[in-house]
Structure 1
Amino acid sequence: MRRRGLLAALAAPALAQAQPAWPSRPIRLLIPFPPGGTTDILGRYLAPPLSAAFGQNVVVENRTGGNGAVAIVEMTRAAPDGHTICMSISTLITQALLTKQPYDPIADVTPILHLANVGNIVVVNPALPIRSLADLVAYAKANPGRLSYGSPGIGSSVHLSGELFSQAAGIQMVHVPYRGGGPALADLVAGNIQLMFGNASSTLPFVRGGSVRPLAVTSASRQVYAPDLPTIAESGYPGFAVVEWYAMIGPAGMPASVTERINREIMAIVGTPEGRAKLLDLGAEVVGGTPAEFGAFLRADLTRTEALIRGANIKAE
């Protein structure tokens, strides 16, 4: 018995040496959407300070397509050693519910951090004679099917906001899915589409620059970044509230020590007053919490979103 214990004690240092330090090479940060959208903005904001904290480059890679699914699939197939992570949004759940995907949003994912929630801003091309939600509804009813709204893709919070508002207001609008929020906003400014329920992070610069006209926010309460904008709920549609969540995830089976390290380092960036102010300027409200808490949130969000999609009869187009 004593000999066995001695052997185990002697073997322990060797086992510790056998486990390579993390990270041992550059870390790939997959972004599911093109440059210019909220996910890309947040990912590129985090990459430099994370590179400094980890002592290895965090390399941002835009893997677009399938409304985020292409990046998620690539991530789930990567080695679960912490060298491939992904900035994800709510479409992790909605794409799995609306379309057949080769991943399970719970079983194939290691939850790392619920980074932030971002509301949407209802914006229109300023050439339209629309200055309020009431104007929007009146215009849509007078011109059924002639208003088109863009989104980063089917199942995004931008898409869900548009569908839910159309049903609540009793109007017809045409949904035009893009490969990201950036291209959709560019088409809105160009007048190729008429409106968007755009993510605040990517839409605020256009609002501040005057190239789009804001009407309301989709969140449950007014937002600090635009306190004069009413909510849809207070504009005659009580109970209306839609936000997009942003998070860091990895492939299933990541070591807890690595997951917790990434969680801590990101919160060290965004959890400070300066970090929170930076994200708030982007229209994002920091959430935080542990990997376990984010895992519980994902399971609850799957149940909630499934009920929402079924109740609103939203289908893949």
Structure 2
Amino acid sequence: MSHPSSRPANFNRRQILSAAAAVAAPALLPMHAFAQDKFPNRPIKLIAPWPAGGSSDGVMRAFAESASKTLGVPVIIENKPGVGGTLGAAAMVGAAPDGYTLTQLPLGIYRLPHMQKMPFDPVQDISHIVCLTGYTFGIACTADAPFKTLKEMVAYAKANPGKLEYGHTGTGTTPHLAIEEFSEKAGIQLNPIPFKGSAEIMQAILGGHIRMMSGTTEFAPHVQSGKLRLLATLGSNRNKAFPDVPTVKESGWDTITESPFGIGGPKGMDPAVVKVLHDAFKKTLDDAKVQETLDKYFMPTVYMSTADYTAYGDRTFKTEKATIERLGLTKKG
């Protein structure tokens, strides 16, 4: 004979298990949905607005690879070269502000809208996420130039107004505007010679066709080999690759030209998504491989938080407008 309480006991156990499952099911659904919605859960596109293989591309790829480890999804570089590095920002204007389309933000995005019509406003149409590094600019001359310091160069230029030429990467670019600002403060008149790119400048100066150049660290190996002399760098601090070379400001002229850059996304991004991206890319600056890449291209660490970088963008857009207007390079119409 079966125990009189066995059937009810089994039934009660089934009831309890069924009830527990019924209670747990609704709780599991939101957790599952949360897991699906958690950012990021698919690859992120990061636009490098320069050709593949260059220094900017190399640095962006190092950041992307390092950030991928923290984010847990691939960060895929897409190259969109042209228009002074502004095509990344232009491509984002119509992108969803979901954190899956990002771009490098070079200095040109704040300057070119004042010089020509652009499809974006760098303040209104971009979410500034984090600043990471920047370019090093310098003034270099041939090894046999009749001056060895920046002060001697200024004295030479004053004695020979308009005769000392320098190469730069094009009207309105940072290497051009930096020297024009310096020349104004130093009270000298130089002869600017525009080139299509760094390769042409190096051919010209190494071939003795120009005496001086303003540019980024394409001059570095030739300074190290003794073919060129680095007169000054244009940042707020000396570059650690050239600790004996003073800045322009140290040499006596209050001119600082820095070109910080970082990561941005479309306007209207969720602050929580921005924070995830900020934290992941900030962490890349602790990655030895990233620092090795920055050192390779003589780029310093220039970190700015989301708030500071946003303020920097607003401030830089205004100062670039003033510079472009002063030099008479404002867009027509």
Q: Give how far 1:292 is off.
A: 2.4
The residue type equivalent to 1:300 in the other structure is R
- Identity of counterpart residues, as a percentage? 25
Structure 2 partner of 1:268: 283
1:114-143 superposed Cα distances (whole Å, 9 cap, x missing partner):
112444111124354443224434554537
- TM-score when normalising by structure 2: 0.76
Q: Is the 8 A contact 2:63 2:290 kept in 1?
A: no
The residue type equivalent to 1:149 in the other structure is G
The residue type equivalent to 1:297 in the other structure is Y
Of 156-165 and 28-37, deviating more is 28-37
Residues 196 and 83 of structure 1: CA distance in aligned 2, closer, same or farther (over 3 Å): farther
The residue type equivalent to 1:150 in the other structure is H
Residues 278 and 21 of structure 1: CA distance in aligned 2, closer, same or farther (over 3 Å): closer
Structure 1 partner of 2:13: none
Of 280-289 and 210-219, deviating more is 280-289
Structure 1 partner of 2:327: 313
The residue type equivalent to 2:244 in the other structure is D
Q: Is the 8 A contact 1:150 1:193 kept in 2?
A: no
Residues 65 and 11 of structure 1: CA distance in aligned 2, closer, same or farther (over 3 Å): same
1:14-43 superposed Cα distances (whole Å, 9 cap, x missing partner):
764663752413x33222233565532321
Residues 255 and 195 of structure 1: CA distance in aligned 2, closer, same or farther (over 3 Å): farther
- Indicate whether 1:245 and 2:263 are aligned: no
- Indicate whether 1:34 and 2:51 are aligned: yes
Structure 2 partner of 1:5: none
Please give the alpha-carbon distance, in whole angstroms, between the structure 1 residues aligned to 2:34 and 2:289.
Answer: 38
Question: Which of 140, 144, 149 pairs up with 2:167?
Answer: 149
Structure 2 partner of 1:304: 319
Task: Output aligned runs, 1:203-282, within 5 Å.
Answer: 203-237=219-253, 239-271=254-286, 279=294, 282=297
Q: Is the 8 A contact 1:119 1:219 kept in 2?
A: yes
Q: Give how far 1:257 is off.
A: 3.1
Q: Which has the larger radius of gyration?
A: 2
Residues 284 and 124 of structure 1: CA distance in aligned 2, closer, same or farther (over 3 Å): same
Q: Give how far 1:111 is off.
A: 0.6
The residue type equivalent to 1:91 in the other structure is G
Please give the alpha-carbon distance, in whole angstroms, between the structure 1 residues aligned to 2:150 and 2:193.
Answer: 18
Q: Is the 8 A contact 2:235 2:247 kept in 1?
A: yes
Task: Output aligned runs, 1:193-204, within 5 Å.
Answer: 193-200=210-217, 202-204=218-220
Structure 2 partner of 1:166: 183
Please give the alpha-carbon distance, in whole angstroms, between the structure 1 residues aligned to 2:130 and 2:182.
Answer: 30
Residues 287 and 235 of structure 1: CA distance in aligned 2, closer, same or farther (over 3 Å): closer
The residue type equivalent to 2:194 in the other structure is V
Residues 226 and 168 of structure 1: CA distance in aligned 2, closer, same or farther (over 3 Å): same
Q: Is the 8 A contact 1:34 1:182 kept in 2?
A: no
Of 43-52 and 240-249, deviating more is 43-52
Question: Which of 297, 305, 323 pairs up with 1:290?
Answer: 305
Please give the alpha-carbon distance, in whole angstroms, between the structure 2 residues aligned to 1:71 and 1:254.
Answer: 17
The residue type equivalent to 1:232 in the other structure is V
- TM-score when normalising by structure 1: 0.79
Please give the alpha-carbon distance, in whole angstroms, between the structure 1 residues aligned to 2:175 and 2:53.
Answer: 16
Q: Is the 8 A contact 1:28 1:61 kept in 2?
A: yes
Residues 240 and 272 of structure 1: CA distance in aligned 2, closer, same or farther (over 3 Å): same
Q: Is the 8 A contact 1:147 1:194 kept in 2?
A: yes
